[in-house]
Amino acid sequence: MALSGLKQIAGDFASLFFPTVCAACNGPLVRGEVAICTLCLMECPRTFDEHDPVDNPAARAFWGRVQLQGAASLFVFTKGGKVQELIHNLKYNGRTDAGIAAGKLFGNEIKDLTPFNTIDAVIPVPLHRDKLAKRRYNQAACFGEGLASAMKIPQYEHGILRLSATETQTKKNRNERWENVEDVFTLNKKINLKGKHILLVDDVITTGATIEACAIPILELEGTKVSVISLASARD
């Protein structure tokens, strides 16, 4: 049998296990398309934030709050649109492949652009432990995995740990109590981030408060820098 025939069979076999519908339109994928169809890749609205990483709506969400090197979102989030469907499928329907594919796409586009070309490692915004146990994966880490792979840098999936307010309030030190903060983010002490430029990654930027809470402990370390990438963010 010709090699192409074998490849065909292997491909058909693989399609039994890998999703064969587009995560953005739920239409069939054709050979060569991965997770998101070509039409959706063209039709999902792009922000092009990466061309001005210090002054764009994603970056502006952090002005006066936390010092970032740059911020950018891949897609514009619109209610009822393809991007919302893509994110819904990523978060709730097991479409981890769509997060990875979108991460690879964007990673290839930003890897040589300032300031993203000096990033040392990716850290995804962590999920609550109980949410992670239920969902079995962190959608931000899927997107981060694709970014890290294209940018040829590591992803520290558990670089930041998310504690609930109740956990932190059982600590003995009263000064460590946090008021009006639902979640508290702390650095994983097993990973040395000193002097590194970290890319914080999330699926959607809304208020920016979660990413801000993740960036603060990183920036308290000597010589660290932070940039931010999200799969989507809303635009006015």
Instruction: Kindly list the residues in this chain that would bind Zn ion in the complex (CB under 5 A).
Output: 22, 24-25, 37, 40
One-character DSSP codes across 166-235 = HHHHTSS-GGG--SS-SEEEEE-TTS--TT-EEEEEEEEESSSHHHHHHHHHHHTSTT-EEEEEEEEEE-
Structure token pair of residue 213: 């809470």
Which lies closer to Zn ion via its Cβ, residue 40 or residue 110?
A: 40
Nearest distance, CB of residue 182 and Zn ion, angstroms: 35
Nearest distance, CB of residue 64 and Zn ion, angstroms: 39
Nearest distance, CB of residue 46 and Zn ion, angstroms: 15
The β-bridge relationship of strands 225-234 and 183-187 is: unpaired
Which lies closer to Zn ion via its Cβ, residue 37 or residue 231?
A: 37
CA torsion angle for 25, 30, 32, 33 (degrees, to 10)?
0
Which lies closer to Zn ion via its Cβ, residue 40 or residue 101?
A: 40
Nearest distance, CB of residue 12 and Zn ion, angstroms: 21
Which lies closer to Zn ion via its Cβ, residue 38 or residue 206?
A: 38
